[in-house]
Structure 1
Amino acid sequence: MLNARPANFVAVILVLLMPLNTISQIKHAAQTKKMEQSSTNNKLIIYQMLPRLFGNTKTVNKPNGSIVENGVGKLNDINDKALQEIKKMGFTHVWFTGVIEHATMTDYSAFGIKADDPDIVKGRAGSPYAIKDYYDIDPDLAVDVKNRMGEYEALIKRTHANGLKVIMDCVPNHVARTYGSDVKPVGVRDFGQDDDTTQAFRAKNDFYYMPNQHFVVPGGYNPGGNDFKSPLKDGKFDEHPAKATGNDVFSASPSINDWFETMKLNYGVDYQNNRTPHFDPIPPLWNKMYDILHFWAAKGVDGFRCDMVEMVPFEFWGWVIPKLKAEHPALVFIGEAYNSSLYTKYINTGKFDYLYDKVGLYEAIRRLTCDQPNATTWDINHVWHNDSNGIDEHMLRFMENHDEQRIASHDFAGNPWCALPGMVVTATLATGPVMVYSGQEVGEPGAGAEGFGGDDGRTSIFDYWGVPEHQKWVNNGKFDGGQLSEEQKSLRSFYSNLLNAVHNNEALNSGSFYELMVANEHQPGFNTKLYIFARYTAKQRILVIANFNRSEQNIIVKLPGDLQHKLQINTSVEFTDILSGAKFFSHDINDGVTIKLPAASGMLLEF
């Protein structure tokens, strides 16, 4: 949820990285350890979409436009044809982002849903990460608002019927300032319902309070823009006593750059007194959050992407995840995490299956993709060297998601084709999941200022909007790519070929890893914008080469003697690129194999 803020917000994430090893140290570690890894886990290939955006065919795209003006996608738009096309691309899971009811400027009071005060809503549509009712579905997404839960249940069944699994959001750290469940199950107590609001902190409270203080809406906020009119738009919101804001702001007057639309939930940590934990007895919030996750798991959801997990104590995760997996053993938990020094703790103690790999592989590959002068592929070696202690297979890799800038935007690479080598590495480096964000596969640039979402290279999660390049693939609900250019069709074919190759080849989805940079650093044609490694099993071996150079490269790749022995090869070898069909031949593998790589490309050479 990192971009849940105005466009000028400068996010400050405290990333506690180990001190960087020098290149020579990394090389030495590679030479001595060989860095072989293997896993029997099935590789998750995840397609992330916001249903609000995915099926929307309106192309008006008026900044700060209403739901009527700009349109909105519905759960029912994600039909069998759409899901079949996603499945054909090689995906195994779909992350339906933003399906839970959240605060919005759209009035659904006619349906018994209390209207939200726009002064504490970000964007006309509202942030999907300002949850208003954890037991309900966003009414924007329903054709029949009264049957919104039924439409989501039908989508879960439809997704399963098309051979895909369902991931949805868990937003554990904060909720909308207007939170209140009107459809919660019998016996469930709402957040804050039993709080003692006279105490700033109390382990049994669900929220943190500023006693005797009124909440103050940040100055300078113009909700919905000048054209949006509402009697509730008065720069005020009645909250007394004021509650702490979601991004750990313990003040009645958060700034416009804070997550002022949300309230921080209390898991028993006294943040204002040295972060003192109070976990015995278990705080009531723990059981309330368990009940929520249990509710959705019982509907057939296969996994949860958990928002900002480092803002919630890992002791809670270590308690709730095993409890849920005892009931649903196949349930998957993915944590949005950025503090690499805590990764091992959140995996081993918190029991997460997977964590975001943003501060590692994403940032290394972004530098290379943007052709930054000091970027080298030794940065990738640094990532797997640090992750070689058993967490590599737990890292979720991506080049785009809803928080990050679009590859095709001027803020990133400016050209979606520059992502080819990075996506090859992202998808094949390890057995952990790989994720693609809806529109990435057709080069969506995220251009323009949508409203609350500024012109920042991202597709807004706050506003009603059509996603222009993605809409060309949607083709008015045909989901056949009928409006795509030939270049876009070619780009989408690359993603499909790559992801299907990962899905269908055991060397890539569950094989061991062998680093080949050290063995080739003195080879003719080698440079530090090339990345080389092998993935293999007893039945299959694949040489992976990524060329981040913006020009064609020729290199003679050597396989070291111990790898040849391990793979039982010592004679002539033919290599075939799974992605293009191109063939390369070595008459004597001891002399290596000569490979010609197009600019900004990657190869998966089976041999």
Structure 2
Amino acid sequence: MLGLGLSACQPNTIEQTDTTVKNDNYNENVSVTQTDQTAITGKPVVYQVFTRLYGNTNTTNKAWGTIAENGVGKFSDFTDVALQDIKSLGTTHVWYTGVPHHALVNDYTNYGIGNDDPDVVKGRAGSPYAVKDYYNVNPDLANNPANRLAEFEALIGRTHANDMQVIIDIVPNHVARNYHSISAPKGELDFGANDDKTNTYSRHNNFYYVVGEDFQVPQASNGYQALGGETHPLSDGMFAESPAKWTGNGSRLAKPDANDWYETVKINYGVKPDGSHDFPALPNDYANKTAAEHLAFWQAQAADDIPDSWRKFEHIAQYWLAKGVDGFRYDMAEMVPVEFWSYLNSHIKHTNPNAFILAEVYNPDLYRDYIHLGKMDYLYDKVDLYDTLKAIIHGKASTAAIATAHAKVSDIDQHMLHFLENHDEQRINTVDFASNPFNALPAMVVSTTLSRSPTLLYFGQDVGESGAENAGFGQPTRTSIFDYVGVPAHQRWMNNGKFDGGQSTSDEKTLRAYYQTLLNLSHSATALQGEYVELDTLQRQLNTQGYDDEVFAFSRFNNEQQLIIVSNFSQQHSKMFTLTLPHTLINQWHISQNTAVKNLLSTTQLARPLVLQSDSSATIDVQLAPLQSVVMALQR
């Protein structure tokens, strides 16, 4: 029914070179292993993997379970077999989520790591966005915690050897309440080490302070107890912090609310408490200037005008680039001033011009500033496209809303990364989203093919993971990011490291094959890097019989390839109609009576003819089963 069929995944040839670079604001030469991003053909596909969950084969899933009880994945679980399996989904970049060492409840004191207080840790495994040491990695992920950094460096090498690039998180807006690096290079001081704590704000302070008040652990709500009520020597409702710091989400209370990001503290970027800026402003015309010109601007500023936090994060980014990391995903980027991003990203691009830079930004009014002034490569297309597709699946919006949402970002469409799942969002296979993983396939086709932007795939999405486990902190509907837990559908596909679907259900295998076919079109269908013309409005103007609010059609094309893409979002009803192409496309595509189309999502469907009409338009008969999409390529 869904027209499945595997297309060959052609491996990309990515050469690695060692380049020594000198950063003007860093006190040592660094050897940077770069991968040649220009060797990647087609649209990027980012595979996001929650690193501690990916390789875990334990199926216990006890609420608030320990590592011994529930298990944890390791860097070593990303074997060549595993990485080739990831690669088979068309992946160009692997986003290893949760790599920097963050606060967690486990005892690593034998390795010189201080214990974290459960009163300021969410869950047992901890939030990956409460980083406590930016110069090392999560010890949970290593076979030998003493060797954890070398084990991650080996994973970087394996990922490169399997022709994919590496992305990790940087979280500039906040750090763990108990940040302390035991691994920082010589001369790198901890955040807050030189702060003047007698002032709420100072330009070179790394934190904001509630002067004269000590931090108090929030009052728990809804019966919440740290570690589910388990006795722990540090779980006493107290955490020593004097004076109190502002909380990560901006709360200025010494005792934040239980719904605040109380496990983190906000970083000061030279933004005064009244919101005014205490750093140089970018001239307005810098929206049209290159990253190199942005770098020159910052290098021309007086050293004292650059807030200390800016330099600290620039050094952190350079440290990971030197390890071979190819790019970064920035958490809550809009909570940090755009000038800082200009500063950081221009330095990164100086070191590695092909670095992949992705930012979490949800305010559409800020998109263009963060792209053009902040020099971001990609932003989440969440508020427009994702929310629209979800509303259509819920029956709350017409498919006509897709064209409207896309038009809002038509000038920056290549910068707007598309997704249906990530670690923050509900799993598709929940009643809160689509109830069934197949119900979202039309949305996935549209999301993947609508623009020139990259596509993000979250691990387990391709086999219909439901995220239904009660792991501890928070409620199910997304796979827990706070606790140790197994991921059942993914574990069935993983099949104890064989990655052959040996334990998967028939539906899971069918879904996986569909994702492979679709995402590999990102590389093989060159038209997806070309132009976009929506066909939806024309069908509605013509009152095309059978074309309704559950169908969406558009075209993508370049000189080499012309595609017509049509999706049926209905879960119950087939659709039959005659699709009309405008005469402008007929002329541009040089369509003749001998032109036919073939569905690239199917290996069995035969080519269908296009019919030229007397009014210089062309038509094609379309028949779609429920939830079916077609990607029709012109054949001559």
Q: Please, what TM-score do these two structures have when normalized by structure 2?
A: 0.87
SS of 1:104's partner is coil
* DSSP 3-state at the match of 2:597: strand
Q: C-alpha displacement at 1:89, in angstroms? A: 1.6
Residue 383 (str. 1) matches residue 405 (str. 2): yes
- Report what 1:22 is aligned to: none
> In structure 2, what is the equivalent of residue 273 of structure 1?
274
User: In the alignment, what sits opposite 1:18?
Assistant: none
Match of 1:515 in 2: 534
Question: Is 2:580 the counterpart of 1:558?
Answer: yes
Q: Is the 8 A contact 2:400 2:537 kept in 1?
A: no
SS in 2 for 1:225: helix
Deviations 1:291-322 (A, max 9, x none): 00000011111110000000000000011111
Q: Quickly say closer, same or farther: Cα 1:524–1:480, change in 2 above 3 A.
A: same
Q: Which structure 2 residues correspond to residues 96-495 of structure 1 after superposition, within 5 A? A: 96-220=96-220, 221-226=224-229, 228-270=230-272, 272-279=273-280, 281-372=305-396, 375-388=397-410, 390-455=411-476, 457-495=477-515
Cα separation, 2, equivalents of 1:589 and 1:76: 58
Please say if residues 42 and 526 of structure 2, whose CA atoms lie closer than 8 Å, have aligned partners that are also in contact. Answer: no
**Distance across 2 between alignment mates of 1:368 and 1:54:** 31
Match of 2:609 among 560, 582, 586: 586
Q: Which residue of 1 aligns with 2:4?
A: none
Return the alpha-carbon distance in structure 2 between the equivalents of residues 256 and 211 of structure 1.
21
Contact 2:592 2:612 in 1 (8 A): yes
In structure 2, C-alpha distance between the alignment counterparts of 1:194 and 1:41, rounded to whole Å: 47
Say if 1:103 and 1:176, in contact at 8 Å, map to a contact too: yes
Q: Secondary structure at the match of 1:224?
A: helix
Aligned 1:43-58 pairs, distance under 5 A: 43-58=43-58
> Is the contact between residue 393 and residue 440 of structure 2 (CA under 8 Å) also seen in structure 1?
yes
SS of 1:570 mapped into structure 2 = coil
Equivalent AA in structure 2 for residue 437 of structure 1:
Y
Residue 65 of structure 1 aligns to a residue in which SS? coil
- Give the AA of the match of 1:222: Q
1:599 and 2:626 equivalent? Answer: yes
Query: Using a 3 Å threshold, how does the CA distance of structure 1 residues 555 and 434 change in structure 2: closer, same or farther?
Result: same
1:80 alignment partner in structure 2: 80
Query: Greater CA deviation, 237-246 or 532-541?
Result: 532-541
SS in 1 for 2:469: coil
Q: Distance in 2 between matches of 1:501 and 1:349?
A: 32
Deviations 1:133-174 (A, max 9, x none): 000100000001111000100000000000111111011000
Distance in 2 separating the partners of 1:450 and 1:589:
59
CA distance in 2, matches of 1:184, 1:574: 62
- In structure 2, C-alpha distance between the alignment counterparts of 1:90 and 1:371, rounded to whole Å: 31
Query: 2:32 maps to which residue?
Result: none
Residues 572 and 589, structure 1, Cα contact 8 Å, conserved in 2: no
Residue 540 of structure 1 aligns with an amino acid whose one-letter code is Q
Q: How far apart, CA to CA, are the structure 1 residues paired with 2:42 and 2:209?
A: 45
Task: Output the CA distance in 1 between the equivalents of 2:362 and 2:591.
Answer: 42
Letter in 1 for 2:62: K
Aligned to 1:29: none
CA offset digits 1:169-197 (Å, max 9, x no partner):
01100000110100100111111010000
CA apart distance, 1:219: 1.2
Determine if contact 2:47/2:458 at 8 Å carries over to the other structure.
yes
Query: Contact (CA 8 Å) 2:597, 2:610: kept in 1 or not?
Result: no
Written as runs of structure 1 = structure 2, the 5 A alignment for 1:5-84 is: 42-84=42-84
How far has the Cα of 1:546 moved from its partner? 1.0
> Residue in 2 aligned with 1:568?
590
Q: Is the 8 A contact 1:142 1:151 kept in 2?
A: yes
The answer as to whether partners of 1:511 and 1:536 remain within 8 angstroms in 2 is yes
Is 1:496 the counterpart of 2:520 in the alignment? no
Helix, strand or coil: the match of 1:246? coil
**Separation (CA, whole Å) in 2 of partners of 1:370 and 1:587:** 34
Looking at structure 1, the residues matched to 117 and 243 of structure 2 have their Cα atoms a distance apart, in angstroms, of 17
Taking the aligned partners of 1:147 and 1:293, their CA distance within structure 2 comes to 21
Q: Partners of 2:576 and 2:236 in 1: how far apart? A: 65
Verify the 8 A CA contact 1:104 1:121 in the aligned structure 2. yes
Of 276-285 and 242-251, more deviation after overlay is shown by 276-285
Contact 2:57 2:496 in 1 (8 A): yes
Distance in structure 2 (CA, Å) of the matches to 1:360 and 1:464: 33
Mapped contact 1:75–1:155 kept (Cα < 8 A): yes
Question: Is the Cα contact below 8 Å between 1:520 and 1:558 reproduced in 2?
Answer: yes
* Structure 2 partner of 1:547: 568
3-state SS in 2 of match to 1:562: helix
Q: What is the TM-score of this pair, normalised by structure 1? A: 0.91
What is the CA–CA distance in structure 1 between the aligned matches of 2:557 and 2:499, rounded to whole Å? 36
Q: Give the 3-state SS of the residue equivalent to 2:146 in structure 1.
A: helix
Runs of 4+ in 1 over 3 A off after TM superposition: 274-280
Q: Percent identity?
A: 47
Contact kept, 8 Å, 1:101 with 1:138, in 2: the verdict is yes
CA contact (8 A) 1:408 1:415 kept: yes
Distance 1:202 1:596 in 2: 65
Whether the aligned pair in 2 keeps the contact of 1:572 and 1:585 (CA below 8 Å) is no
Cα–Cα, structure 1 residues 41 and 207, in superposed 2: closer, same or farther, change >3 Å?
farther
- 1:487 deviates by 1.1
CA deviation map 1:2-35 (0-9, x unaligned): xxxxxxxxxxxxxxxxxxxxxxxxxxxxxxxxxx
1:3 aligned partner = none
CA RMSD of aligned residues (A): 1.3
Provide the rounded CA distance (Å) in 2 between the counterparts of 1:587 and 1:496: 28
Partner SS, residue 320 of structure 1: helix
2:385 partner SS:
helix
| Matches of 1:165 and 1:261, distance apart in 2 | 31
Q: Deviations over 1:493-550 (max 9, x none)?
A: 0000000112211012x11111111222222211121111111111111110011112
C-alpha contact 1:584 1:595 (8 A) present in aligned 2: no
Q: Deviations over 1:65-105 (max 9, x none)?
A: 01110000000001100000111121111100001100001
Tell me the SS of whatever aligns to 2:305.
Answer: coil
Question: What amino acid maps onto 2:361 in structure 1?
Answer: A
Offset at 1:587? 5.7
